Amino acid sequence: MSTTGISSWAVDLADIGAVYPFQGAEVIFLLIGLAFWLWWHVWSIKAENARHQEKIANHGSAENIKDALENHH
Amino acid sequence: MGSNLDAITTVFTEFYYWLTVALMFLIHVGFCMYEVGASRRRNHMHTLMKNSMLIPLVTITFFFFGWWIYWALPQWPIGSGIDFETAAANSPLSENMGTNLGDRITGVFWAAFLLFSWTAASIVSGSVIERINSGAFWILAVLIGSVAWIIDAAWGWHYGGWMVQYLGYHDAYASGVIHAIAGGFALGVLFVLGPRLGKFAADGTPRDIMPHNPWFVCIGLFLIYTGFWGFYVACNVPLIDPGGIGGQITGETWTATTIYLTPTTLGAITVNFLMSLSGGMLIGYMVSKGNAFWTYSGGLAGIITASAGNDLYHPIQAMIIGGIGTYLAYKLHFWVENRFKIDDAVGAVAVHGYAGVIGLLICGFVLWGHPSSPYEGYAPITPWGQLGGAIIMFGVLGFLPGWVGAKILSALGILRIPKEVELLGLDFASAKEEEAAAHEVRETAKSMV
């Protein structure tokens, strides 16, 4: 019993193909991967927008912006 | 691997592509350096992250669907249709994509193509700095890096691609399939995104927004040169016998080939790389009156212009072609900036897009009539085939997806950062925190006196 399908190296390597664990579950791996990728885009856009709004709320006055342009090149 | 010769050939090929990946990593280091150097201090960490995070996003999406596209679409929509069978062997569901003792090549070949994908997306990244939302850019990066460019690679950078078969399209080191498409895509995005605040005066006169660290910019470009060596050799098949090609070549002589399986040599592309780099630098220095940024960029433009035919050119041809491309790209950059008020912050559209298109067109004349493929029935290289290819690369698969993608993101209100944030600077909050921390340390130190 082995997650990779290999339980001993007493084999002819010419007969061996894939050796990664849980072969046969590739569809599940892909679905998890796709979900994670799409979620990450949504999260990053929301988080970035929130940071922008926070920055504007805390520092977005005309005076602050003029000061920032003087001091942060 | 039935014999020791097969084993050596296979492991050599595996190692060869692995080495190209390690070298091409430097392209991305270079892009990050020059992009950060070109940005103003108040934006540089954000600029770094915007570019850096395309690495994981393009990587995973290229694994999920980019690589499948390359093998599925060479004959679609013109030709024999989608090749589901070959694509299945390169899909994320295939056993070839995991640790597999029976397939040592697919993984490194995938990785070499992936590094091209990063390059395509990174070219776009530089042109849009200091005003694009990172989240929007990352969606565009996936669009160019894992969809648009790999479709063009399937069509025009595959031994069985329909553009090669019917147009005789020849682009050995990717003048079009990476550079023209990325430049066109960047231009499409820039049309929608608009210039940085303050870039143009009220009468439309462009202002120079100076890089905060010109030295950083130049070292970045130097690193891109270095990584470009990996890019070039990754475009070749290092060692193949005529039986493996299965075309019209006769005899027993093994050879290196281009991606089209047409014979070339590493020696030829090494000399031509250096000569086209030289032609570009010499003209870049001359036309920009010694400006360091445009001299280094000229070197890149020189290589990019000559790349379509650098498998076959004479070295002096490579030098002249590199120089012509650099001159025209430089002039076009400023003409487009003035005429259309396009703010391409690093000149990426010119260096990659215009130089790439010019390189494709020149290649059509210089290599006119040369066979585009070792296979029977393929069209030879012609100026009109190259013109068609240039339009597809820069316009159809470059500009159009970039423009449409940016339009959609703009309609959703997520393309461009708010005006206040652009004026404050993207790094403003962290800069304030750093200032406060430094102030506290200074005050503490003073109290110890």
Comparing alpha-carbon positions, the chain A residue that sits nearest to B54 is: A41
Please state the ipTM of this predicted complex. 0.95
The pLDDT confidence band at residue B2, using thresholds 50, 70 and 90, is low
Share of residues in chain B with pLDDT > 70 (%):
100
pLDDT at B6: 86
pLDDT at A72: 65
Q: What tens digit of pLDDT does each residue of A4-42 get?
A: 999 999 999 999 999 999 999 999 999 999 999 999 999
Bridge partner list, A48: none
- Are the Cβ atoms of B93 and A14 closer than 8 angstroms? no
The pLDDT confidence band at residue B94, using thresholds 50, 70 and 90, is very high
Q: Could you say which residues from 32 to 61 on chain A have a Cβ atom under 8 Å away from some Cβ of chain B?
A: 33-34, 37, 40-41, 44-45, 48-49, 51-52, 54-56, 58-60
- Are the Cβ atoms of A14 and B139 closer than 8 angstroms? no
- Are the Cβ atoms of A20 and B421 closer than 8 angstroms? no
- Are the Cβ atoms of B63 and A23 closer than 8 angstroms? no
Comparing alpha-carbon positions, the chain B residue that sits nearest to A42 is: B135
Q: Is the pLDDT score of B404 beyond 90? A: yes
- Are the Cβ atoms of A55 and B432 closer than 8 angstroms? no
Q: What tens digit of pLDDT does each residue of B311-359 get?
A: 999 999 999 999 999 999 999 999 999 999 999 999 999 999 999 999 9
- Nearest-neighbour CA in chain A from B114: distance (Å): 17
Q: B105 CB near a chain A CB, below 8 Å?
A: no
pLDDT at B31: 97
- Are the Cβ atoms of A30 and B103 closer than 8 angstroms? no
Q: Which of the pair, B257 or A65, is modelled with greater confidence? A: B257
Which pair of tokens denotes residue A34? 């796709």
- Are the Cβ atoms of A72 and B431 closer than 8 angstroms? yes
pLDDT at A69: 82
Find chain B residues with C-beta within 8 A of A49's C-beta.
133, 135, 414
pLDDT at A64: 86
Share of residues in chain B with pLDDT > 90 (%):
92
Comparing alpha-carbon positions, the chain A residue that sits nearest to B98 is: A20
pLDDT at B12: 94
Using DSSP's 3-state secondary structure scheme, residue A15 falls into: helix
**Residue closest to B14 by CA, chosen among B111, B104, B113, B114:** B104
Q: Is the pLDDT score of B431 beyond 80? A: no
- Nearest-neighbour CA in chain B from A25: distance (Å): 9
Q: Is the pLDDT score of B363 beyond 80? A: yes
Comparing alpha-carbon positions, the chain B residue that sits nearest to A64 is: B424
pLDDT at A73: 63
Listed range (B6-10, B44-48, B327-331) with the worst mean pLDDT: B6-10
The pLDDT confidence band at residue A67, using thresholds 50, 70 and 90, is confident
Q: Is the pLDDT score of B1 beyond 80? A: no
Q: Is the peptide bond before B211 cis (omega within 30 degrees of 0)?
A: no
Q: Tell me the average pLDDT across B167-176.
A: 98
Mean pLDDT score across all residues of chain B: 96
- Are the Cβ atoms of B432 and A59 closer than 8 angstroms? yes
pLDDT at B142: 98
Find chain A residues with C-beta within 8 A of B93's C-beta.
26-27, 30
- Are the Cβ atoms of B93 and A51 closer than 8 angstroms? no
Domains and CATH numbers, chain B: 4-237+259-437 (1.10.3430.10)
Interface test with B, best of A42, A55, A71 (most B CBs within 10 A): A55
